[in-house]
Chains A and B, each alone.
Chain A
């Protein structure tokens, strides 16, 4: 089986779960002897040593397309970034860039030999459609997030929506990262449910965890938020809950790791609520720093308004951290040893944060059972399910 795969972001150049998911899936596929040709945008600061190590396997080859694309960019941040990268010539808008990427995909599709096309999220959908036209091979689009997740349903970009919908319509099969996302695709994009397979994300459990402790050591309990500071992730609900928790518990610090377009709003809000001394902004973390953040944490909170999957709770659990998870998430479909919340229910979120901090047996039971639960996840299983989807489609061609 040979797959032409269109990407997005990839470690170490990644700002969120999409890169993590694609990395995990690609590795899983190569373990199942699937040959992957991975088409990636080449960032100016791209391709460090770690990346070379990740893909140094005969099963994966990489094609790069020069671009400054990144999946979570809006037009404004795109313009800022392209100014910084002015030595190269790029399209004028994010959407030009998407078109350029799709054009470049045509040539790659013509040159490459493959059985199936696999695209990840809207930025690569046009590329996938083009490749399908040229080679008449089945197109699978993999939905990690929709415009409705990213915007929380308010002010969706009609152009992005139309690209998403085109991709879904042109696809032979759609892979959704959760039932939650499947329902979204059915309801908001009017796609027949039979066309959609659910393939949950995973985590590769590492046996040898560094048990060393890090950083702020530590009179205070630490509540961690790790994610982009955007509407979708609900950082505002996290700080409102922080305020409420701090009214009842004093020795607690709230750590916010991540950046995004709500960063200023959140910083100002924290000051306005008078909890600035209790909330630490760790900025955008990568690699070992993410690990450190989990190690420090006493409880992890995913307060997303809409989370198609949500890998971070699995990462937290693999670090023995109890997790509190928004019900509007894909990950809540696959884990049981967690506390569930409605993102808008500040009382309940703070009730659960305080309970985890106060009641050691709760913390320990969540942490022990969560750790056992997360051991069962593997990207190889995710890859297996994708291969099933490939097989269903290659038969038709």
Chain B
């Protein structure tokens, strides 16, 4: 039996504007409303609406046999509400099908787990509340920003009442083991681990339109063949990817929607295959083994580490400065200040400061709304200084 588990990450950061030295003390608008609106409009048109529509059609057509899981950040939800409420409506509609599950994560898509456990827990709670309010659900599965994971995260997730956590099925943590089983955290008995099958996931997310790839073009029957081969030596195939894969990273004219449209039917042609939501998979399969993971793993780049966000001095000093403000921001009781401080925690801001451009670097460049990592650092630090000034004035 092979259970195929789709999980899609839905996220948009509040990009900051070109905030100059001379704005410090003079300008309160940190975020680039125009750019954020434009990007939201573009991605809505190319990805969110058409993909949601297709997923809904597939669920309806397949009579409940097609199921998917989503994790939607608070930053994306807020921007749907502000700029594109119809996207939120379409997610609500999906949530009524009973074939869609929503996961828990930090509301702000932050790296707070690495810097402040208190802040981390608060953000997870905020996200929980949003899920309750918007979709009337209580997430049971946790996914941390960028699939950042180690034993300690499992412990935190356990404390917060989750029963499973997602992680990257990286070679260096698995060794000879396969990502196609359910595992357990070494340090938290109640936490099962679902590991991303990065090969099959990336075949769709990264290589789909890659002409130099020897499997190009990727078709639904071909992909289903690969899934079928897991029968007999695995229970789950975890296909984890950014939702923007559909229509935004991989374009419609390259056939990504055609692929998605046929894939469920092709996969179910094999009688031992099925689709499950993540908590169904967790319920269905016992953990085969405990994984003991001390060093942090993530789903980024070839290194599967933190270097995309915390790889240079600009990144580490910017994030340190940010979390050093935590106590005073919270003590100030100033809601706007707190909210802005949290929006600045979104991991994307640090990603934009990444300077390891030269291999998978090209991906970074594509996503960078600034002229260079240096420019994004300057804007970010200027904002930090403005916030410090505001904190001083609060006293």
Question: A-side interface residues toward B, CB under 8 Å?
Answer: 248, 336-340, 347-348, 350-352, 354-355, 358-362, 364-366, 369
Q: Is the CB of A361 within 8 A of B317?
A: yes
Residue from B22, B374, B381 within 8 A of A365 (CB atoms): B374
Q: Given A340-B372, A350-B21, A354-B21, is A362 in contact with B355 using a C-beta cutoff of 8 Å?
A: no
CA distance A360 to B378 in the complex (A): 11
Residues of chain B contacted by A351 (CB below 8 angstroms): 20-22, 378
Known pairs A347-B20, A359-B317; list 18 more (Cβ under 8 Å): A248-B21, A336-B357, A336-B372, A339-B375, A348-B20, A351-B22, A354-B21, A355-B21, A355-B382, A358-B21, A360-B317, A361-B314, A361-B316, A361-B318, A362-B377, A365-B374, A365-B377, A369-B355
Residues of chain A contacted by B378 (CB below 8 angstroms): 351-352, 355, 359, 362
Q: Does B172 belong to the interface (CB within 8 Å)?
A: no
Q: Does B295 belong to the interface (CB within 8 Å)?
A: no
Q: What distance in Å separates the Cβ of A362 from its nearest Cβ neighbour in chain B?
A: 6
Q: Is the CB of B355 within 8 A of A337?
A: yes
| Smallest Cβ-Cβ distance to B320: which chain A residue | A361
Q: Given A365-B312, A365-B355, is A339 in contact with B20 using a C-beta cutoff of 8 Å?
A: no
| Smallest Cβ-Cβ distance to A245: which chain B residue | B21
CA distance A63 to B322 in the complex (A): 64
Residues of chain B contacted by A361 (CB below 8 angstroms): 312-314, 316-318, 377
Q: Does B371 belong to the interface (CB within 8 Å)?
A: yes
CA distance A364 to B355 in the complex (A): 12
Which of B124-143 touch A at CB < 8 Å?
Answer: none
CA distance A248 to B372 in the complex (A): 24
Q: Given A361-B318, A362-B378, A364-B313, is A347 in contact with B371 using a C-beta cutoff of 8 Å?
A: no
Which of B349-378 touch A at CB < 8 Å?
Answer: 355, 357, 371-372, 374-375, 377-378
The secondary-structure label for the interface of chain B is helix
For the complex of A and B, list the 10 residue pairs with the smallest distance between their C-beta atoms, beginning with the closest.
A361-B313, A361-B317, A351-B20, A355-B378, A351-B21, A354-B21, A361-B314, A365-B314, A365-B313, A365-B312
Q: Is the CB of B372 within 8 A of A339?
A: yes
Residues of chain A contacted by B314 (CB below 8 angstroms): 359, 361-362, 365
25 residue pairs bridging A and B, Cβ less than 8 Å apart: A337-B355, A337-B374, A339-B372, A340-B372, A347-B20, A348-B20, A355-B21, A355-B381, A355-B382, A358-B21, A360-B317, A361-B313, A361-B314, A361-B316, A361-B317, A361-B318, A361-B377, A362-B314, A362-B374, A362-B378, A365-B312, A365-B313, A365-B355, A365-B377, A366-B374
Residues of chain A contacted by B381 (CB below 8 angstroms): 355, 358-359, 362
Residues of chain A contacted by B318 (CB below 8 angstroms): 361
How many A-B residue pairs have C-beta atoms within 8 angstroms? Tell me.
57
| Smallest Cβ-Cβ distance to B356: which chain A residue | A369
CA distance A305 to B355 in the complex (A): 28
CA distance A362 to B318 in the complex (A): 10
CA distance A362 to B376 in the complex (A): 11
CA distance A365 to B21 in the complex (A): 19
Q: What distance in Å separates the Cβ of B391 from its nearest Cβ neighbour in chain A?
A: 18
CA distance A337 to B312 in the complex (A): 13
Q: What distance in Å separates the Cβ of A343 from its nearest Cβ neighbour in chain B?
A: 15
| Smallest Cβ-Cβ distance to B24: which chain A residue | A248
CA distance A323 to B375 in the complex (A): 13
Residues of chain B contacted by A338 (CB below 8 angstroms): 374
Q: What distance in Å separates the Cβ of A334 from its nearest Cβ neighbour in chain B?
A: 14
CA distance A18 to B254 in the complex (A): 49
Residues of chain B contacted by A360 (CB below 8 angstroms): 317
Residues of chain B contacted by A359 (CB below 8 angstroms): 314, 317, 377-378, 381
Q: Given A359-B378, A366-B374, is A347 in contact with B22 using a C-beta cutoff of 8 Å?
A: yes
